């Protein structure tokens, strides 16, 4: 029976009154990730918004064990946790490495790539708000072309983001998926499935950021859905090489009602200086990637 809002476990692992901004998609995503893992987890978190969500000593707003680690070493830290647990013969816990896009696409990619090549047995989740939001929104490897940030203040970013999920798939790991905080049930199912898989697993979770992207914090869910409806985010999973579109992306593929990317871009202040040329370039990129997904999907 598919999980829904009514039958999903009541137990929460995120306590009220945490330090995230109002309308934070990370807070929403993390809530459902921990529910899907039933709290049977040791998390390792680098310097990031999630560190701030966890709170300030001597308090934390999260009821699972968590090991903070310097920015570049999330996957290495997770590897250490897995090795330690194995050495002590402790089983049944999922080691969850969870970092932002800066900590995954940029400073932490070396440690992540090595861990994936070693097939270290942990679940790595990248919550992607497309910029260094914890330090006030500087551009990252995931910031889109044309987006304003603290370090691309006037001209906007001149390069498009890297496709980290494709990079991770290229490591031949058993489970890779994309998810989106605006589709919590799809995220919940994917984390639950990933929990049962052995080896390195990677889930790329899209988490819109109200202050960073300049939209009002009541619109987080709407912006996240718009990203899928315009193809900026494609919800899929790749299990031992089999590519399957999921949730809204699957229904959009079947109905063929992808909406123009402009509708998504115009909702966000970070794109206020984006040029027509950049919009067209992004639309072309989205269309090409959407087509690749349609060709690969086994469930259409």
List the interface residues with other proteins, window 78-107 (CB under 8 A): 105-107
* Among 172, 163, 176, residue whose Cα is nearest residue 125: 176
Smallest separation (angstroms) from other proteins to the CB of 298:
29
- What Rg value do the Cα atoms of the chain yield, rounded? 18
Binding mask 41-80 for other proteins (x = CB under 8 A): ------x---xx-xxxxxxxxxx----x-xxx--------
Stretch that binds other proteins, among 92-100, 218-226, 233-241, 283-291 (CB under 8 A): 218-226
List the interface residues with other proteins, window 7-26 (CB under 8 A): 8, 10, 12, 14-25
Asked if residues 48 and 99 have their Cβ atoms less than 8 Å apart, the reply is yes
Phi, psi of 227 (to 5 degrees): -60, -40
Q: Distance between CA atoms of 131 and 160, rounded to whole angstroms?
A: 12
271: its two tokens: 């794109």
CA 158 to chain centre: 23
Angle of helix 25-36 versus helix 184-195 axis, rounded to 10: 40
CA 182 to chain centre: 11
Smallest separation (angstroms) from other proteins to the CB of 102:
8
216 binds other proteins (CB under 8 A): yes
Asked if residues 263 and 201 have their Cβ atoms less than 8 Å apart, the reply is no
Smallest separation (angstroms) from other proteins to the CB of 246:
17
Of residues 114 and 197, the one with the C-beta less far from other proteins: 114
Q: Say how many CA atoms lie within 13 Å of 181 toward its Cβ.
A: 24
Smallest separation (angstroms) from other proteins to the CB of 24:
5
Phi, psi of 68 (to 5 degrees): -75, 150
Smallest separation (angstroms) from other proteins to the CB of 212:
12
Binding mask 140-159 for other proteins (x = CB under 8 A): -x--------xxxxxx----
54: its two tokens: 């966890």
Those residues with Cβ within 8 angstroms of residue 298's Cβ, 6 or more apart along the chain or in another chain: 242, 243, 244
Smallest separation (angstroms) from other proteins to the CB of 54:
8
Stretch that binds other proteins, among 27-35, 77-85, 244-252, 280-288 (CB under 8 A): 27-35
Of residues 13 and 290, the one with the C-beta less far from other proteins: 13
Catalog residues that contact other proteins under the rule CB under 8 A: 5-6, 8, 10, 12, 14-25, 27-28, 31, 47, 51-52, 54-63, 68, 70-72, 105-107, 109, 132, 134-136, 138-139, 141, 150-155, 184-185, 211, 216-222
């Amino acid at each position: 029976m598919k999980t829904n809002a009514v039958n999903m476990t009541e137990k929460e692992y995120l306590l009220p009154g945490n330090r995230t901004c109002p309308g934070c998609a990370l807070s929403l995503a993390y809530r459902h990730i921990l529910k899907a893992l039933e709290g049977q987890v040791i998390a390792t978190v680098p310097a990031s918004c999630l560190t701030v969500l966890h709170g300030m000593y001597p308090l934390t707003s999260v009821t699972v064990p968590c090991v903070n680690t310097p920015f570049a070493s999330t996957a290495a830290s997770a590897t250490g946790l897995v090795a330690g647990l194995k050495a002590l013969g402790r089983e049944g816990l999922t080691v969850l490495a969870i970092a932002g896009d800066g900590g995954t696409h940029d400073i932490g990619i070396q440690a992540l790539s090595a861990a994936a090549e070693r097939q270290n047995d942990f679940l790595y989740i990248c919550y992607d708000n497309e910029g260094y939001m914890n330090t006030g929104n500087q551009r990252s490897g995931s910031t889109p072309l044309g987006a304003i940030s603290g370090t691309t203040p006037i001209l906007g970013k001149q390069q498009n983001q890297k496709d980290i999920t494709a990079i991770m798939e290229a490591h031949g790991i058993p489970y890779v998926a994309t998810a989106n905080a605006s589709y919590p049930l799809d995220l919940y199912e994917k984390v639950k499935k990933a929990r049962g898989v052995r080896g390195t697993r990677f889930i790329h979770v899209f988490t819109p950021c109200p202050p960073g992207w300049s939209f009002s914090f009541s619109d987080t869910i709407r912006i996240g859905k718009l990203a899928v409806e315009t193809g900026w985010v494609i919800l899929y999973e790749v299990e031992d090489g089999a590519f399957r579109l999921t949730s809204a992306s699957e229904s959009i593929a079947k109905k063929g009602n992808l909406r123009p990317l402009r509708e998504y871009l115009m909702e966000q202040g970070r794109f206020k200086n984006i040029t027509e040329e950049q919009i067209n370039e992004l639309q072309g990129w989205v269309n090409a990637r959407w087509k690749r997904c349609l060709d690969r999907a086994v469930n259409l």
